[in-house]
Amino acid sequence: MLPSLLFEVMLIGLLGVGSQWIAWRYRMPAIVVMSIVGLLAGPILGFMNPEKDFGELYNPIISVAVAIILFEGSLNLSFKEIRGLGRPVFRIATIGVFLGWVLGSLTAHYVIGLSWAAAFVIGALFIVTGPTVIMPLLRQSKLQPRPAKILKWEGIIVDPLGALLAVFAFEIIAFLTASNPDGSALLIFLAASVFAAVMGWACGLGIGWMFEVGYIPEFLKSPAVFIIVIACFTFADEIAHETGLLAVTAMGVTLANMNISSIDDMRHFKENISLLLISAIFIMVTASLQLDTLLEVFDPSILGYVLLMMFIVRPLSIFLSTIGTVLSLNEKLLLGWVAPRGIVALTVSSYFASILSQAGYADASLITTITFALVFSTVVANGFSIGWLAKKLNLSKEGRPGTLIVGSNSFTVNLAKSLQKAKSPVMVVDSSWKNLRKAREAGVPFYHGEMLSEQTEYNLDTIPYDYLIAASEYDAYNALLCTTFMPEYGRTNVFKVRPYRRNMNDTGDMVRKVGGRFLFKQELTLEDLNQRIRENYILRQTTLTSRYNYKQYLQDKAEETIRLYVIKRSGRVRYFSEETRITPEVGDVLVSLTPPVKEINKIKKRLENQRNNGNGKSQPNGERGGVDQSS
């Protein structure tokens, strides 16, 4: 046992964040790692049991955390994002949900032998995917935009619906099986659900209006949003259990579609909080499971039920609900497979297990076991297979890390051409059609638009790109780009180039300290790089070998040579910067901007060899080195 509750809180945070880091470091599904770590710390090794240790605080902590996660996810549900996808999303969230509920309930009754009450309750719970499991998978898999958006919308919309449907199913069963049927409880529940949705909408409008008119100062905006989310959830949930999730979802969707800049400014902060909460509650919930529950999972009927839910019920509900939509067969196959159940199903199942038990249903004790079996199976199966399946179905954007270059000019176009030659995805973005002329003539992929505009956010697919280079002719704009996209791309993957040389005492030089790393060398400007292109400098690829390593390359290169980037044997691109230590190895390809002198000398040598050969003489080739090619 742990020495104190404070130590346990620390350990939960450490295990959660540590699991996220391990998943990132070894390219594993984060939810799988967190689940395994939680099981090891809880029922298997017995280090902790958060449900027992936290006592009456356990359920409120989990509920509030789920509410915040669901609210944060719903803030991304802008209606502009699903242009052209409204029909499949609506079909899946309505017809698909109904089919999944009915088919899942029938399967639970006839395969496991659950009573109709328990079967329809558990069938409702299992339509839930939710942001706690979908978001980590989408972050990991690099799906194409259409299936990724559908999965995200389905997870966030269906998350509260599943819990509400489970309550509705229980109330219906209680009404039908009662000796003196009374429909008042059912009507109260329906009224409470409508009230929760209206309250969430009103809270969203209210907080949005207060932000816009300036009634809340900047330093209070994030705390105000979070406390109103908790209040909205609590009031709705106190009126009718499980309606709080509906309230916070309505609040988040309302704010997402009000186009409030303050919400966009806080988005990355909220994403960080959400990530921390997901890590913590996954550890808490899995560590609170009992060892007996884990052993019951291996019952043949439960295993059979899990397999039917994964391979029959889910695919069938997706295929039937999306008939006549724009979705392709491959997209339907992917959506039919990816449906990991998460925290909401686990936490709500214990609540329904208790109320069904109190109502006299003997099989209520199986609900927690069945829920864990399906949650763990889908998390592991989907977590390890989504990337592979997406590639097989040609729905993945994963490949060599790409580069997004903002600013079209002579140097950036030549840089993009060299990346194209290296088969690395690249895109040149500029708001000036005139500036993009060089990119068009060079056959380089380009996008005409303002990188910071909302329209670009929806129209430009940024999934294939892992690096951003800000190389426009405006210093402050480059710094702003790097600061804006640093949370999305990472501090080490965002670079900027100074446009022109300035006096160090110029106030404009202050932007050099804002966001992003300087590409190549800090004193090297875009003006310098473009001048070298005009002087016929060549972008050269040099493959390092055991006979010609990096040390020899440094000795041989001309003093004016600028090292640009290295293509590792894995295909990963690493850009040179004064803040980044790069040591190219054998097999790596080093790309540099090289003076034309070497090319001229090689031409002279070739001509000399031809003359000597014409005179009957042979000239040995004394050039050592790796494979040296010019772009």
pLDDT in tens, 293-307: 788 888 899 999 999
Same domain, 49 and 143: yes
Confidence of residue 502 (pLDDT cuts 50, 70, 90): low
Tokens of 345: 């199903």
Given 352, 369, 392, which residue is the final one in a domain?
A: 392
Residue 600 has pLDDT above 70, yes or no: no
| Burial category of 503 from C-beta neighbours within 10 Å (exposed 0-12, middle 13-18, buried 19 and up) | exposed
Task: Give me the DSSP letters along 75-108.
Answer: TT--GGGGTTTHHHHHHIIIIIHHHHHHHHHHHI
Looking at residue 478, the DSSP 8-state letter turns out to be H
Q: Which residue has better confidence, 281 or 344?
A: 281
pLDDT over threshold 60, residue 67: yes
pLDDT at residue 205 in the model:
92
pLDDT at position 418 over 80? yes
452 is a domain residue: yes
Domain boundary among 331, 360, 392: 392
pLDDT digits (tens, 9 = 90+) for 179-190: 676 667 778 878
> CA-to-CA distance for 324 and 180, rounded, in angstroms?
45
Where does the pLDDT of residue 271 fall: very low under 50, low under 70, confident under 90, or very high at 90 and above?
low
Q: In terms of Cα–Cα distance, which of 346, 296, 327, 342 is closest to 134? A: 342
Q: What is the pLDDT of residue 614?
A: 61
- Residue pair 336/318 in contact (Cβ under 8 Å)? The answer is yes
Q: Mean pLDDT: which of 72-86, 155-169, 429-443, 543-557 is highest?
A: 429-443
Mean pLDDT, rounded, for 600-614:
64
Q: Is residue 142's pLDDT more than 80?
A: no
For position 411, what pLDDT does the model report? 87
* Residue 397, domain member (yes or no): no
- Please name the residue that has the structure tokens 């292109």: 533
CA torsion, points 517, 520, 522, 527, in degrees to nearest 10? -110
Is 345 in the same domain as 409?
no
Smallest Cα–Cα separation from 126: which of 312, 301, 345? 345
Regarding whether 338 and 416 lie in a shared domain, the answer is no
CB 425 within 8 A of CB 465: yes
Confidence band of 27 (pLDDT split at 50, 70, 90): confident
Q: Is the pLDDT of residue 85 over 90?
A: no
In terms of domains, do 467 and 597 share one? yes
Dihedrals phi, psi of 565, to nearest 5 degrees: -160, 170
The 3-state secondary structure of 397-412, one letter per residue: CCCCCEEEEECCCHHH
- Whether the per-residue pLDDT at 621 is higher than 50: the answer is no
pLDDT confidence of residue 83? 66
CB 467 within 8 A of CB 491: no
630 pLDDT band (50/70/90 cuts)?
A: low
pLDDT greater at residue 387 or residue 178: 387
State how far the Cα of 108 lies from the Cα of 370, in Å rounded to an integer: 9
Q: Report residue 505's pLDDT band, with 50, 70 and 90 as the boundaries.
A: very low
Q: What is the CATH number of the domain that holds 590?
A: 3.40.50.720
Measured CA to CA, the distance from residue 571 to residue 401 in angstroms comes to 8
Distance CA(595)–CA(371), nearest Å, equals: 66
Residue 620 lies in a domain: yes
pLDDT band at 619 (very low <50, low <70, confident <90, very high): very low
Integer Cα distance of 231 and 71 in angstroms: 12
More confident site: 22 or 624: 22
Instruction: Kindly state the helix (H) or strand (E) to which residue 469 belongs, with its residue range.
Output: strand 465-470
> Any idea which of 125-129, 399-403, 600-604 has the lowest mean pLDDT?
600-604
Residue 168 has pLDDT above 60, yes or no: yes
pLDDT score recorded for residue 625? 45
Q: Same domain for 371 and 422?
A: no
Cα angle at 214 between 209 and 217, to 5 degrees? 120
Whether pLDDT at 622 is above 50: no
The mean pLDDT of the chain is 81
SS3 of 594-629: the string is: ECCHHHHHHHHHHHHHHHHHHCCCCCCCCCCCCEEE
Residue 424 has pLDDT above 90, yes or no: no
Residue 464, classed as helix, strand or coil, is coil
pLDDT for 346 beyond 50:
yes
Give the count of domains, the chain: 2
Range(s) of the domain holding residue 230: 5-392
My answer on whether 220 and 74 are in the same domain is yes
CB 225 within 8 A of CB 266: yes
Pair of tokens at residue 65:
């955390």
For residue 75, give the nearest of 151, 120, 131, 5 by alpha carbon. Answer: 131
Contact between 250 and 235 under an 8 Å Cβ cutoff? The reply is no
Q: Output the pLDDT for position 171.
A: 76
Comparing 131 with 349, which gets the higher pLDDT?
A: 349
Rounded Cα distance between 341 and 130, Å, is 7
pLDDT bucket at 511, cuts 50 / 70 / 90: very low
Identify the weakest region by mean pLDDT among 265-279, 312-326, 443-457: 265-279
125 and 22 housed in the same domain: yes
**Pair (383, 409) in one structural domain:** no
Cβ-contact 588, 546 below 8 angstroms: no
**Do 274 and 189 share a structural domain?**
yes
Span 95-117, average pLDDT:
90
Report the pLDDT averaged over residues 311-340.
91
**Minimal CA–CA distance to 492: which of 584, 576, 427, 429?**
576
Tokens 């698909």 appear where? 96
Token pair 């966001």 is found at: 515
Mean pLDDT, residues 206-230: 87
In a domain, residue 617? The reply is yes
Residue 507 has pLDDT above 60, yes or no: no
Does one domain contain both 364 and 264?
A: yes
Q: What is the DSSP letter of 41?
A: I
Range from 75-84, 317-326, 524-533 carrying the lowest mean pLDDT: 75-84
Q: Mean pLDDT, to the nearest integer, of 3-14? A: 90
Same domain, 322 and 379: yes
In a domain, 193, yes or no: yes
Q: Is the pLDDT confidence value at 624 over 50?
A: no
Q: Is the pLDDT of residue 557 over 80?
A: no
CATH number at residue 198: 1.20.1530.20
Residue after which a domain boundary falls, among 359, 392, 425:
392
Regarding whether 409 and 357 lie in a shared domain, the answer is no
Please give the residue that has the higher pLDDT: either 144 or 415: 415
Question: Taken in order 108, 109, 113, 114, is the CA torsion positive or negative?
Answer: positive
For residue 145, is it within any domain? yes
Residue 417 included in any domain: yes
Confidence at residue 99, expressed as pLDDT on a 0 to 100 scale = 92
Q: What percent of the chain has pLDDT over 90?
A: 13
Of all residues in the chain, the percent with pLDDT exceeding 70 is: 87
Which SS3 state, helix, strand or coil, does residue 466 take?
A: strand
Distance CA 282, CA 30 (A): 10
Query: Residue 136 and residue 506: Cα distance in Å, rounded?
Result: 45
Angle at 311 between CA 119 and CA 19, to 5 degrees: 90
Supply the pLDDT for residue 103: 93
The helix (H) or strand (E) run that includes residue 517 is strand 517-518
Q: Mean pLDDT highest for which of 60-69, 262-271, 515-524?
A: 60-69
Rounded average pLDDT over 17-23: 88
Instruction: Supply the pTM of this predicted model.
Output: 0.69
**DSSP code at position 364:** G
Q: Report the candidate in 395, 396, 435, 439 with the shortest Cα–Cα distance to residue 415.
A: 439
pLDDT at 319 > cutoff 90: yes
